[in-house]
Amino acid sequence: MRALLASLLILITAAAAQAEKVVADMSLRDVEINANFDGSDILIYGAIKGAKEDSGLAPLDVIIAISGPTGPVTVRKKDRRFGIWVNTESIEVDRAPSFYAVASTGKLEDTLSYNDDVRFQVSIPRAIYSVGAPAEIEDPASFSEALIRIRKGNNLYQQLDNTVQLFDQTLFSTTIDMPANLVEGTYPTRIFLTREGEVVARLATFIDVRKVGLERWIYDLAHNQPLIYGILSLVIAITAGWLASAFFRYLRF
């Protein structure tokens, strides 16, 4: 009898968790990069459908992760040899996001279990994928750690603990700072609803980052017509050099 009651309780708890869903929106879905672009703050807000404060279940947490376009990255290690700094070792990280921000209602390690972090690749280290390293590399993990440290310093990787506001276990909001040095592309945005570290609901959407104006024209020219782009760059460089030379000759007289 006790086993039956325990089983019923588990089923009721699971059904209550499955009934909860996330609905969300954001203040800006299209980010335009032009000559005056110096970054953008994006407000992400939403609601939890089916949530009940008096359900007797543990409180909910919300995690929001935004990832930029991913690609391989070569990370090099410098050592001092004969009085100068030189590249001594390198590892190619198979896939790393150009931008990554993860915000949560509490500390990330408290709001997301290890297993679900591995499953959904939410934390910054989990978002970086590296298959292996050459046998002669003694400490391959240090290269990924260096990549994270450098990109954190450039505000490209952000772990934003305690920044998602959750009101009455129903409404949530946060603001993500998108820096000026963004890469063009689609930025997948994932919202996770967790209870006691386990993901009970999730939602996926995206932010579109595109160059516009002169930046768009230069980008298209460089990628679609590289010969014309190279000739134009050479002409501009020669013209700028000639104008600078003429200006200094004028100053002498």
Q: How does pLDDT run across 48-67, given as a tens digit for each residue?
A: 987 666 567 888 999 999 99
Both 184 and 231 in one domain: the answer is no
pLDDT score recorded for residue 131: 65
Q: Which of 27-41, 46-60, 83-97, 158-172 has the lowest mean pLDDT?
A: 83-97
pLDDT of residue 108 exceeding 80, the answer is yes
In this structure, what token pair is assigned to residue 152? 């954190």
How far is 170 from 193, CA to CA, in rounded Å?
11
Give this prediction's pTM: 0.74
**Confidence class for position 11, pLDDT limits 50, 70, 90:** very low
Beta strands in the chain (DSSP E): 21-26, 30-33, 40-49, 60-67, 70-81, 84-97, 100-104, 157-160, 165-167, 171-178, 185-195, 198-211
**Confidence class for position 181, pLDDT limits 50, 70, 90:** confident
Structural domain count, the chain: 2
- Compute the mean pLDDT over every residue in the chain, rounded to the nearest whole number: 80
pLDDT score recorded for residue 242: 75
Residues above pLDDT 70, as percent of the chain: 71
Mean pLDDT value of segment 75-88: 64
The answer to the question of residue 14 being in a domain is: no
Both 144 and 80 in one domain: the answer is yes
Both 231 and 252 in one domain: the answer is yes
Instruction: Work out the angle between the directed axes of helices 214-224 and 226-252 (0-180°, nearest 10).
Output: 120
The answer to the question of residue 10 being in a domain is: no
Q: What's the angle, vertex CA 150, arms to CA 149 and CA 152, rounded to 5?
A: 65
Both 159 and 115 in one domain: the answer is yes
Both 166 and 249 in one domain: the answer is no
**Confidence class for position 28, pLDDT limits 50, 70, 90:** confident
Both 148 and 38 in one domain: the answer is yes
Domain residues for the domain of 221 are 213-253
pLDDT score recorded for residue 37: 76
Q: 3-class DSSP state for residue 123?
A: coil
Q: 3-class DSSP state for residue 173?
A: strand
pLDDT of residue 222 exceeding 70, the answer is no
Which amino acid is present at 65? A
For CA atoms 162, 163, 168, 172, the dihedral sign is negative
Mean pLDDT value of segment 169-174: 92
pLDDT of residue 170 exceeding 50, the answer is yes
pLDDT digits (tens, 9 = 90+) for 118-168: 999 999 999 988 766 555 566 667 778 888 999 999 999 999 999 999 998
How far is 128 from 149, CA to CA, in rounded Å?
13
Backbone angle region of 91, left / alpha / beta, with phi > 0 → left and psi within -120 to 50 → alpha: beta
Both 204 and 236 in one domain: the answer is no
**Confidence class for position 191, pLDDT limits 50, 70, 90:** very high
Phi, psi torsion values for 205, nearest 5 degrees:
-145, -160
Q: What is the dihedral of CA 230, 95, 147, 127, to 10 degrees?
A: 140
Beta strands in 82-184 (DSSP E): 84-97, 100-104, 157-160, 165-167, 171-178
**Confidence class for position 198, pLDDT limits 50, 70, 90:** very high
